[in-house]
Amino acid sequence: MTGLADDGRRHEAKAIPIMEVAARLGIEGLRRAGLEFEGPCPVCGGRDRFSINPNRGLFNCRICDDGGDGLKLVQFVLACDFVKALDYLVGKADVAPDPAVVARRKAKAEAAERQRREAEEAARARAIRDAREIWHAALTGEGTPAEEYLAARGVWFPNGWPPTLRFLPDHPYMKFWPGRGTVAWMRGPCMIAAGQNAQGRITAVHQTWFDLERPGRKAQIIAPDGSLSDAKGKAWPAKMVRGSKKGCAIRLTPLGTSGVMIMGEGIETTGSALAEGIRPAAAFWAGIDLGNMSGRMLKVPGIRWSGQPDLEDADAWRPPECISQLVFIQDGDSHPKATRAKLLSGLERAAHYSPHPDFKGWIAAAAEGADLNDMRMKEVKNAGTA
C-alpha cells in the first residue's frame, strides 16, 4: 500500500463515474428506477436487490449486504484487493510519481466529488420540497377513508388520531417508467404520513394507496403498460416514500414522560402494538424501514451481517435523548438473520449515544412468517366471530 495515498491514482480512480466503472465490468441488466439503476447482482445474481446511485457514486446489494464506491465495486465484482482494483481502473503506479500529474489527478477528483455532492444535495432538496408540498395539500385523516382503512386492519388510536397522518382522496402514484420518465401510473385514495427528523421538521412523506372497495386492502398498482407485477411476478408496491427519510420517524404518539419507545418498521406494525394496549404510556413511532432504524452497519470479515453500527454514519436515526428504554418490533415475514442484525445495530447505536447509563434495548419478534399486523388482524377477526 506504500505510495497509494500520494501517487494520485486513488484520486483518478475516484473521479471515474460509477456507471462507467459498471460498464467496464460488464454489469448488465440494469434499468432506471428513479434516481438509481437496479437489476441482478453480478455476484449473487439476486434480481432487483442490486442498485447503483450515480448521483452518490455508490452501489449496494441488499442480499450480499455489500456496497461502496467505484473502487469497492471493482473489488466486489472481481473479488480482488484494493491495489488490484486500482490497477484495473487506472493502471499500475509510476516508479516515481510526477508531482504535476498527482496534482492534476487530485484536482480532477476533487472537482468530480464537488459536482457529485452538489447534484446529490440538489436532488435531495427537490425531493424534500415535493414531500412538503404533498403534506401541505393533504387533509386531516380523522373521519376519512384513511381512518377506515387502518380500522379494518385492526389499528386505531386510543388517545386520538395522530396529526402526523393525513389523507388525499385522489393522489397520483408517481414512479419512473423506462422511456417516459417519472409519470403518474395511477391515482387513488392515499394515506400520507409525516416523516420528521430529529428537529421535528418534515423531510419525507410515507404514502399508502388503498382500495375503497376492499376494506383494509392496499390498492392494486397498475403500471403504464397495464402490468400488475414486475418481472418476478411481485405486485408493484402500494407504499412509497418521497423526500429524505434518513434519520426520520413517523410519530404516532407524543413522547410523553415514561422514557419508553416502541418502534416497528411501518405504521401498521407500530399501530398494532399501540392498539393492543401494550405499554400505554410509551411513545409509539414508526421507523419507516429497517435501514433507517439500523443505520449503516460495520463490515466484519467472515460475518455477513455484523449487527454492529457504523457510528460514523452521523445522519442515521437514533431516539430522542429522553428515551431510556427502546423496543424494536421484528416482523417475521422478512429474512430473520438480516432483520435481527439490523435491529441489533440500531439498538447498539441508540445505547452508544444515549445519555442514560442504564439504557436498555430489546427486540420483540412477531411469529415466524407473519408481521405484527397480520397477528393483530387475526385476533380482531377471531374476536368478531366469537
Pairwise pLDDT comparison (2 vs 196), residue with the higher score: 196
Pairwise pLDDT comparison (121 vs 8), residue with the higher score: 121
Q: Alpha helix locations (H) across the chain?
A: 9-14, 18-24, 70-78, 82-90, 99-137, 145-152, 267-275, 290-294, 336-353, 372-385
Q: What is the pLDDT of residue 80?
A: 87
Contact 347, 361 (CB under 8 A): yes
- In the predicted structure, residue 2 carries a pLDDT above the cut 50: no
Contact 71, 78 (CB under 8 A): no
Place of cell 392496499: 218
Number of Cβ atoms within 10 Å of the Cβ of 381: 11
Q: Which residues of 201-212 are buried (b: 16+ CB within 10 A; e: fewer)?
A: ebbbbbbbbbbe
Distance of alpha carbon 28 from the chain centroid: 24
Fold of 246-386: Dna Topoisomerase Vi A Subunit; Chain: A, domain 2 (3.40.1360)
pTM to 2 decimals?
0.79
Reduce the DSSP state of residue 333 to 3 states and report it: coil
Average pLDDT across the chain, whole number: 88
52-106 confidence digits (pLDDT tens) = 999 889 999 877 778 899 999 999 999 888 999 999 998 876 555 567 766 776 7
Pairwise pLDDT comparison (178 vs 156), residue with the higher score: 156
Q: Could you tell me which of 215, 219, 240 has the C-alpha nearest to residue 228?
A: 219
**Residue 265 burial class via C-beta count within 10 angstroms: exposed 0-12, middle 13-18, buried 19 and up:** buried
- In the predicted structure, residue 47 carries a pLDDT above the cut 50: yes
Pairwise pLDDT comparison (295 vs 45), residue with the higher score: 295
Local confidence band at 161 (pLDDT 50, 70, 90 cut-offs): very high
Enumerate long-range contacts of 90-97, CB under 8 Å, 24 or more apart: 90/9, 90/12, 90/13, 90/16, 91/9, 93/3, 93/4, 93/7, 93/9, 94/7, 97/3, 97/6, 97/7, 97/8
Contact 229, 201 (CB under 8 A): no
Q: Evaluate whether 9-110 and 246-386 have a shared fold.
A: no
Contact 295, 316 (CB under 8 A): yes
The rounded distance, in Å, linking the Cα atoms of 328 and 262 is 6
Average pLDDT over residues 22-48: 84
Domain definitions of the chain by residue range? 9-110, 138-242, 246-386
Query: Taking each helix axis from N to C terminus, what angle separates 145-152 and 267-275, rounded to the nearest 10 degrees?
Result: 70
Tell me 106's DSSP state: H
- In the predicted structure, residue 330 carries a pLDDT above the cut 70: yes
Distance of alpha carbon 2 from the chain centroid: 38
Average pLDDT over residues 162-186: 93
Taking domain 9-110, whether its CATH number is 3.60.9.10 is answered by no
φ, ψ of residue 74 to 5 degrees: the values are -65, -45
- In the predicted structure, residue 217 carries a pLDDT above the cut 90: yes
- In the predicted structure, residue 16 carries a pLDDT above the cut 50: yes
Average pLDDT over residues 133-148: 96
Pairwise pLDDT comparison (299 vs 370), residue with the higher score: 299
Number of Cβ atoms within 10 Å of the Cβ of 143: 11
Q: What is the pLDDT of residue 1?
A: 45
Number of Cβ atoms within 10 Å of the Cβ of 269: 24
Average pLDDT over residues 221-246: 91
**H or E element at residue 205:** strand 202-209
φ, ψ of residue 251 to 5 degrees: the values are -90, 100
Local confidence band at 343 (pLDDT 50, 70, 90 cut-offs): very high
Torsion of CA 101, 103, 105, 109, to 10 degrees: 180
Contact 124, 240 (CB under 8 A): no
φ, ψ of residue 329 to 5 degrees: the values are -90, 125
- In the predicted structure, residue 351 carries a pLDDT above the cut 60: yes
pLDDT over 70 for what percent of the chain?
93
266-314 confidence digits (pLDDT tens) = 999 999 999 988 888 999 999 999 989 999 888 887 787 888 999 988 8
Tell me 249's DSSP state: B
